Every structure is written in structure tokens, then in C-alpha cells.
Structure 1
Amino acid sequence: MFNIFISFLGIIVLFSVFNALSVHLFNKGVQKEIIQYNRLMLKNTAERYQTHFERIKTLLFDTYTDEKIVAFNRQLQVKGESDIEYWKASEMLKELRSEAYNPMFYLNNLIVYFDSHSFIVEKEGTVEADMFFSRFYVSPDYPFAYWKEQFGRTGNYKLHPQKTFTVSTLNSSASHELIPFSFRMPSSNYQVIALLDARMLQEAFYGTEDNRQFMILQKDGSLLYRSSTELSAANIPAFENGSGYGLSRGYYYFVEKDTEGNLTYVTAVPYANIASRVRNASLTLLLVFAVSIVIGLLASLYFSRKINRPVKQMVTSILQRDPVELRSPIREFDLIHRNIHELMREKEAVHKELLDKRSLLTSFGYINKLKSITSDINEWKDIAVMDESFFIVLFQLHFKLQPVADSEMKTERMAYYIQEYISLVLSERLPSSHTFQIENNQILSLIRSKEIPEALDETLTRLKTILDRDKAYFLVTIAISPVYDRSAQFNDAYREVLEMAQQARPMDESQVIRERRSVPAQLVFTVPQEQELYANLQAGNRQLFCVAFMERMLDQMDKKEASIQQLRQLAEGVIARVAKILEPYGADADSSLQRRQSALMQECCTLEQFKQFYGQLFHAAAAVIQTKKEEQDPTVSFVMDYVENKFADDASLDLLADKLNLSSAYLSVYIKEKTGANFSEHINAVRIRKAKELLSATDLSVQEISARIGYRNVTSFIRMFKKMTGIPPGEFRKNRVIESEKPDREP
């Protein structure tokens, strides 16, 4: 349970790290979004103000060019004071009231100021200009004189900075923040003035948030309007790279210009405002994060307990092999539990079945897989349950390594093709046959039959003819077993055909062996023959004696119809003895020479090839001896030759010293210094080696062997043999007999 909980906890930690990173990135994103939001709002405000100012311009121009106003102005300029029809001002008054009270214009008043006669028409009526600006719309910054001076300016439209006006009526008086917007034509007698309500404009186009500051700057940088006296144009910082916003003295300033570039709109947002929004968003996310962690921990603990209990019950049930009823709210666990116990029962049933049929399926099916040999295990199962008579045919392949290597095809691939072809031919004539590859060089055909059919001889003859076409690459020995009654005798049948295949004759063609034959006993050298052979080999008489001697022995074995297996056993013995002779000469006289010569010998298939092999073997050995003789110490060589050839005589160090005209003491030290062993150790080593060979290959008694190898006292021989081998001669012979009785291969 603890491990499951830790796993859930690890997942929660990963999600927590991800969430924390998300909060961090979100905070940065929120701040950017707030800045972007303020810039967008300011841009919309600037567009609205600009649109409204354009609308007021149109209003001023339309009012200025109104026919009634133009006619009244002409009357003031042409007629005398007594002739002026002031009552016509009432017609203008209706138009002015209609526009002044239009909510779309956000006007406090709309005024037509006539310079001559200092006469004003506004929404409430007519009044003298001096009285209007001194009693009804009073502002220290915009007295009567200021507006009088406006008749002398050159421009048409002019926005005047926002100022505080005290607006008085008959019943009340109030202060208003107004932005005057005037229009007149050059040399004109009158001008039209629109008094814009600055607060209403801000509420309509900007908003009423108290903590934001709003300013409008004119082209020369002077203030046209500001929402609060806390900030002025001097507080606005310089903006780098035209970013449009910047931070200065605790405020974020945002700037936007209108399309004509005459007005600049500025918003000042307290930094604390943006930070507060970011902080609120962070706190909300952290609260959600904390709640998620708590819920995750509780859910992890709950599900850990819920999952751990059924899993623990299943594991305990498997370990104890005791099916128990599992009750879990998770249906999948019940399904897994049932399937596991079904698999356990099936496993036990299969295991029991394998134990019952171990004679075939275990012995061959598994070995077949281990050896990576292509075969079908289902066919082995058929054999395992087979309960009828059968016989087997063994195809023993002998590859000629050098031709195969030249063909660039691997022996495993060749064996596979041969097996497929044999299977095809046999299945055509003998449908009850099954052909398998037992070893890389062995193919086995099992045929179900109570007797060997006549079609088998014809089929094998056909196979032999076809296989002999490739005898340059391989030879095949075909052995046919007797008929056996039941599948349990398969091991006996396989051992039988193996022994029959070993009776093949030395011939350069495929052979079919249908029954056992008597083979001669294995030939061994007598002690005089062996001494004479090795003496001539060391003397360099390889052609005069050694080769001729082996050819005579091969001819004798061929007359007795010795098998190729016997010829190879003889050759292995000769190779081992030659290698032993060459040991004192170093260089090639080691196991590598024995391996090379054994590989060459395995290529021999005929009597003539064996004769050629012995010729090159003795030639190579004589060459080594001759070369080393030219390099070696003549005294040591004489001693080694003497020991190897005279070990059975009454050899002594004194006799050898007399032959060399040396003192025995000096010769003993000399031999020890040059060879690392003294004279007695050399002669005992040769005698014990020869004793091993006689114990293994002959039936001579221990006493007879002791006498043949030079010991006059059998007790001394036994003591020396045990000292050098660890066991007495009798036990050594017994072990060799047991080993020779074991089958060469286990099926």
C-alpha cells in the first residue's frame, strides 16, 4: 500500500510543480493582459473623443451658417439701434435650445456671441455679453475680455482648455467643468461657442473609475483636460521605442494620439491597481491549488487502500497456491484473480503431462530447441503419444570443410536443404514417415510400420544416387534400425543406428548400412614397434620407414574391413604420440599442432587419403625435429632421445654419462639447468605415459606392464604411478573401461 501511495504522491507532486509553473506564467500573462486592456481602452476612448469633436465641429459650422443667424448678424451691422428687430432672436433661440439640449452632444450651453452691440443668444435667451460672462457663466480664466480677444484670432476652430465655470440661474448656482469649443470665420462679427460638459464626456467615453487618471493634451503639450489635479503634463514620462506605455512614480502611463495628431490622450493607472488584480488572481489560483492537493492526497489514500487489498490477496494466494475467494468492488480484479488460478491449474496439468512423457518430449523436444535446429515440436508430441511399431533411418552427414568453405555456404544451411529434400522423397513413397534434424550433422527419419517395407530400399538407393552428386562437399552414411514395438524404445533405436553408422567403410561415396557387421579389434602398437617408429621419426627416416610402416598397417586394417571410425581412432593416437615427441622441441609441438592435424584427418574418407595424411604428418614432424636439432643443445637432444627410446631398458644416469664422456654429477646438473627437470623425472614421465596407454589399450596385467616399461619392482611402479596420477593403476584402468562403455552420444 505504501508503494502505491508513494506512486500517487509522485503524480501529485508532478502536477503540483506543473501547477506552480502555470501560476507563475499566468501571473506574467495577467499583467500583460491588464496592460493590453488599458491600452485598448485608451484607444477606444481616443476614437470616441475624436469622433465627438468632429461632431461638435459640424454642429458649430451648421449653427454658424444658419440663415436666421446670418440674417440677424446682417441686421446688427446695417441698421441702427432703434431699427434692429430683436424679436427675431427668438427664432434663433429655438434652434439653439434644440441643439443644446440634445444628449448626443453633451453640451452645457450653445452660445452665439455677436461682437457688435455685444449681444449673446444662448439656450435660455438673450443677454449682453459682459453680463453673461460676469454673472451667468463666470470663470477667472475666461472673462468677457478673453472672448472679446477671440475676434482677433486667425484660426477657425479652437478647443479651449477645460476650466471651472460657476453657472448661475435665477434660482440656483453650481460649478461645472467645461471645455469651450469656438468657431468663427476671419473678420466675422460673431462666433459660435459650444460649452462641453467635461465630466459627462469622461463618463460617456472613458468611465468613472476613481483610481484612474485621465488627461487630454493639445498639440503644444498643454493640458486640454484632466480628470484630477493630482497629476499634470509634467508627470508624464518619456516613452522608449514608441512602446505607448511606461511606469513612473507608482503609475503606469498609457498614451494614444488621434489620427490627426492634434490631441494626445493619457491614462495614468496606479501600479497598485494592476498588482492588486494580479495578486487576486494568484490567490484564487493558489486556493484552488491547495484544495486540489488536499483532495488529491485524500483520493490517493483512498484508492491506495482500495487497490492494495485485492492485489495483496492475489499475491498471497499465488505464493501459497491456495485459491481464495476475492471480493473486490473492482470487477477487473475479480477477473484477473480467476484467470490467474485457471493458468495455475493449467500449468500444473501441463507439468504433470510432461513428467509422464519425459522419455521423448523432454529428451528430444527441448534439446532440439536448445540446439536451434529447425523442427516442429508438434511432431515430437505425436511421437510421444505414439503406440505402434516403428523403425528409424539415420542420415549421418560428413562435410568436407575446405570445399564447403569455398562454396561460401554454411553447413547449417546445407543440412537444412538436405533434410528438406530427404523429407520430400521419403514422404512421397512412405507417407507414415517423419523427418527431423537431430544434430547439425544428423538427420533422422521415423517410419511407422510393423516391418521394413520393400519401397525403402528403392527410395534409399535413389537418395544415395542423388546425394553422391554432391560428394565433393559432403558424404552421407545411412543406417537403418530394426523394427521396434513402442515409442518408449526410441532411445534404443537411436543408439542402435548411431553404432551402425560408425561401422561405415573408408569410401568416397555415400553408404547404406542395413545391419550390424563384425569389425576387427582396434590395432595398437607393440612397444618395440612404437620405439622403432619414433626412433626413425627422430632420425628423419620418415619416407624410408615411418610412412611405409603406417601404409602397411592401413593395408592390414583394410583387409580386415576396419571401419572409417577405427582408422580415425588410430590416426588420433598417432597424432597424439607425434605431438608428445615434439614437446621438447617447442614451437609447433603444442596442442595447436594436434588440432590442425586432427582437422586434416577428419577430411580423410578413403584409404588413400589416410596414407597421404600420414605422409604429410610425418613430413611436418620431421621438419620440426630437423629444424630444432639445428638449434638445440646436442647434449640435451641426445638425452631426450635416449630417454624416449630406451625407457624400458636398464637406463641410468651413469651409463648415459659414460656415453657422453661426462661425469654423472655434471650431467645431472646440466640436464636440470637446461630442461628444468632432472634425469629421473624425465624417465619416470615417459614410463608412466606409456603405462597409461597400455592400461587403456591392452589387457596386460599391472605386473606385466611394470616389466615392459622398465620397472623391476611392481611396488615401485604402483607407487610412482599413484604419485604422478593420483590413483593406482588398477583404478585408472577401471575408470577407462567405464568411460569406454558409455555411449558416444546421448539421444
Structure 2
Amino acid sequence: MRLNKIRRNDRLYVKLLIGITLSIVIAVFICSSIYYFTFARILQNEAFESNLANLQQTGKTVAKMTDSAQTVAFQIYRNSTISKLLYYNNPNPFDTQAAMIDLNNYLVTMPYIHSIYVYNPLSGRYYITSQNGQKGIIPEDQLMDQSITQILDHYKDYQPFTPIPRLISMNEQSEDGTSVYTYLCYDAVGVNQRINSAVIVNISASWINQDLNQQLGGNDQTLYIDDRNSVLNANDLSPVTLSDVDYQAIEHLLQFKESGYRVASFEGAKSLITYTAPDPYNWQYVRITPYSEITKKLSSIRLRTLLIASVVLAVGVFLAWLVSKFLYVPIHKIENQMRALESEKRNSSYTLRQNTMRKLLHIHDFNAEMQAEKLKKMGITFDFMNPYRLAYVRIDQFDLLKQENHKDLLTYKFAIMNIATEICSRQYTVDSIDLDDDSLVMLINTFEDQHEIWEDLELMLKDIQNACMEYIRIGLTIALTPVSKSPRELQAMYKLAKEASNQRFFAGRGAIIEAGPLQSHNKYSFPIGKEKRLIEALAAGKIEEAKALFDTIMQETVGYSYSVAHAAATHISVTLDNMLMEIERNGSIQLCLGTELIIPRIEQYETLEEMTNAFHQFFDLLKSKFVEKRSSKQDDLIRKINEIITSQFDNASLSLNYVADELKMSSYHISRVYRQQTMTTIVDTINAVRIEKSKELLVATELSVTEIAERTGYTNSSYFHRIFKKIIGVTPSEFRKANQGLVK
């Protein structure tokens, strides 16, 4: 209770820490946001002022160029030489040449002029001087710049000396041309409403826009709307096609008739749109700058702001933590001390309770009233003064669980105890005890007036098994004792439950076993005869017969207690051990018993089926060892026989019995083994070796046939002749004659 009260009090300091931290975070966030938007506004104004100044400068440049073009046009009209081109149908060639030279001088002295046209409608000719493109005296029908003819035909649509933006075609095939501002100057109009003469001055747009181009960013656009409401690209004077939304947005901005800017969407992207007031020609310039270009400069500022804010936040949180920790130190110490005391008390109490209940199971005679009072003081709910049962729980495949989860083994057992206690406590009072290895015991109090049915108890135990399998993937075998009303039967009931749990060997994993004395009508007697036949079958290599005999012996133990099966399996294991040790001791076969060949022991297996499979595998391995060792021994015997024959072929006494005596083995045995392994007899091998040696002597020496017969072990030359002809097909003399050329 005291610890809970202290924990409630420390929430004040937790709230204090959270409050200070949140205040710092909010303050930093608000300041950073204000700085960010302020800097963004400043950069936005800077971009607007820069764009507006640039656009206004471009307008001033256009106005200045207009004055220059007007001056040039007036000078051309006042030039007596050039005026002859304007008013004479067929001027003198010398005058024409002089006039063209004067026109070219204007072009040279004024580099911003792209070209000058002098037009005489009466002669139907254009006198052109140009920086590039068509120049000279050009008839109307050969003029490439056809757009000027349309301007002259509709001159009323244009105000005098108002710049006309257009493209001068360089050739008839290409639509590309040079961007120019055209200034039209004419002095009179005839009765047919056509001009009598005209001077056209074309100012290069690149010259006017050179300042504009220097200010443009990579994604900026500069447009202008002329007095005819045409939207043109200020860079190359090409028409610009806008969507309805973009056109309406620009048209709306230009209605204000004064310079300004607005942040809006243009071509689907957020942009800064800067626009100018109408100039003297009723033109308006518009600059569209993507907002991302403006905020590029803001990136470094934002990074620095975030860095400063992070530092401030880190320092603030650290200071808040220090303050809260300083305030919390006394409470923290008290809480830790209380927690340690509670944990120590809880752990020692649990250990003490477990040890007390374990001792209680092993005490044969005790004072029931005193022990019951002791259990009650320790908080143990089990009361053996009332009717009770014991449930002995065994973990299936415990060795595998121990191998894979050695460190978590106690945790798993604790989880099983909790699950079992929770399920049983719905109907009974339960306490659980953790025993050694794979076992647990549940002490279950029943009630005298409670009528229990085995099916209901079995269903409850099934719930425990299913819950353990579902949540922790562990299978259980449970043995349940009958109800006992005597405290002094506690140890006997424990032994009964433990013995009953061993019946898992027959019932299989996951079984629910009703503990009680096994009813067997016959007393078990170990089948010595079947065991003897089992050993004989193994020695003879009849593995399937041995397996069947082993299965029969073990199946006869079903229906008896586990101790009977344990005794029978142990008897077989000991007999097998003695047989194999005897084989190794006699030296006939080395089986590597205990290393490569290990006899199964019943203690290693939880079920009869599992042990039976292990013995079957052992029998198969034993057979392979027998076959391997016997085959190796027979090969060694054949090798020894062949060595004797090869080394003593000239011995007249060499025979089957002689070889058997040399090897100290029976002639029948070696004859049978030799014939099985080589598909021939020892006598035939002796004769084959002797004949081969005699062939060498017949070819390589001049010894007589009788002498050769004696040297190869034949005492009778006529027998030698008969054997030689039988094997080779000819007599020794005939063989020698046929191979005389080989004698050295």
C-alpha cells in the first residue's frame, strides 16, 4: 500500500518533466515556424523587387529603342540620297548605290539594329540592309519576310512608332526566324488608302532582352501582353499558348493596372507571378518564377534554424530532466528500496512455499494439524484436511525442450503451473509444485458434497493440455489420482500418481491417465526362449525376424506396469551387450561397441513406439556392421590364399589341405569361401599359376619338358602334359615350337 501511494505521488514529477519538455518543444516549434515564414516572406519580396526592376528596365529599354528607331527613320527621310529610293520609280543606279551605302552605315554604327527596310510602293521594291538574312534590292514577290507586307497592308491597326514584336523569316522553308521589334514610319497615304512610302527599322530583340536574359533562372518564364492582347514569350517573341486557367489568372492580375505580385499556381506548380503596370505602349510584362527557386536560398537558413532549434531543444530537455531528477531523487530512493523489499519477500516466499510443499510430499508420518496450520500461515491454499486429489504432470519431449530452451526452462514450467492453476481454480482450490526434471504436481482440493464424473475431470485436464499447446507449444501427460480423505495418504498418493505417469510409455504422449493399481490376471514371466531366438536371428543376419521377435517380447508387457517393460527392455539390452562384447573379445569382428554402435536403453525414450523404432534402427546398423566386417575378413582370407599359391607353386605338396594347414583353418571352410568370392576352386588356381610359370620357362629357356614340370611342382610329366593341354589347348612341345621365335 505504501509503495502504491509513493508511486501515485511520483506522477507529479513525471507531469512536471512532461510539462517542461512540452513547453520547450512548443516554444521551439513556434519560433522556428515564425523564422521560417519570415525568411520566406523576405526572399519572396526580394524576388519580386528583382523581377519587377528587371521587367521595368526592359520596358525602359524598349522605350529607348523606340526613340532611337524614330530618330533613324526621320534621318533616313531627310537623307536626300535615300529619299530618292522612297519617291522615284526608277532611281539612278549611282543614287541607288549611294543610298544603300548610307543605309549600311546606319546599320554599322547602330549594332542594336537588325535590319532597315526602305519601301517604295510605286516601284514595288524593298531596299534592305541587314545584319544577317536577305539584303539588297528585293522585289515584293521575292521578299522572304512576308509578315512585313501584312503589316503594311494593315498599317491602320498599328499605332505609329509602336514596337511590333515579330519573327523575320530567314528562308521560305523554315518557320524559325530572328526575333525583332519592328518600328514602322510612313509620311503620307494615297487616295487608295495605301501608304506612299515607308521606312521600317527592325531592332534585335536579343539586344533589348540581354539584361532580361541575365536575370532569368533555369525555370523562370517572362511573358508580355502587347496592346493587341497577344501573349508572347519575352525571350524570343514567340506566341505562348496558355491553358484557360493560367490565362484567366494572368488576365485577372493585369486588371489592377499597377505593378505587383501574387503567389499562385501556374502550369500546375506553385509560382511567384510578378507583373508590371501598362507602359506607354499599353504593354505589360509578367515574370513567372517557380516557388521552389525562391526557397532554394531558404534551405540553408532552414537547416541552420532546425540545427539551432535542435540544440535548444536538447539543452532544454536535458535541463528539464536534471530538474525533475533532482526533485525526484528522494522519492526514487524510497521506491527502489520498497521494490527491492517486495521482490525479495515475494521470491523468498515463493521458494519457501515450494520447498515446504515438496517436503510435505516426502514425509511419511507427520502431525496433520500442525502442518495444516503451517501451510495456512504461509498463504498456501491447499488443505489436506479436506478431500483432495493429486495430478502428476509430465512434460512431453522434455529432453528436446531442455536442449533448445535451456535458459528458459524454469519460465516454461512456471507458465505451465499458472495455466494449470488458472483452469483448475474455476472449480477447485489448487496449488502447484515444481518438481525436478520434467514433472509438476497439482494439489487439488475437492468437496465432499461434489459429485465428480471422470469425463468432467478428463475434460478439465484436456483444457490444460490444449492451452499449454496453444500458448507455449508444450505437450503434457497427466496422471490423476482418486480422491483421498486422509492426510497421511499424501505420500502414498504422490507415489501412486508418479508411478501412473510412467504409463505414458504405453499410452503415448498427451495421455490422461487414471491412477490406480493395474489389474493383471497373469503374472509376467520374461520369455527367455524368444530372447534366445532373437540373438540367433541377429547373428545369422535375419534382421526382420529379430525385429518381429523384439516387438512380440515388448508387446507382451502391455497391460503390466512400466517397471515390467523396463525390466524386459533392460534384460534384452544387457543380453545384446554381452553377445557383442563376446564377438569383439573373440576377435572375429570389431564392431566399435559404445562409439559407432550404441545399444538403446529404455530410459532414453518416453513411449514404446519410440523405443521400438530405436531398436529397429540398431538392428539395421548391426547388420550392416556384420556385412562390412565379414566382407573385409573374407577379402583378407582370399589374399592370403593367393599369396601362398604364388609363392609356393613349385612345391609338389601344394594342395587344398596344404593351404588349410598353413592358415590353420578347415579345408571345407576355405574352399567354400574361396569359391564364393572368386567363382573358382583353389586347385584350379594352383594349376593356372603353375601353367603360366611353365609357359614362361618354355619360351625363355631350353629346359626339357620333364625339367620344367619338376620346376613348376609336377612330379609326373604325363600329368603335366594332360593339364597343360587341357588349359592351353596344345601340348608343351607344340607350344614351344609355336613360340620359338621368342627365345633369345
Please indicate the TM-score interval, normalised by the length of the shorter structure. Answer: 0.3 to 0.5
TM-score normalized with structure 1 length: 0.33
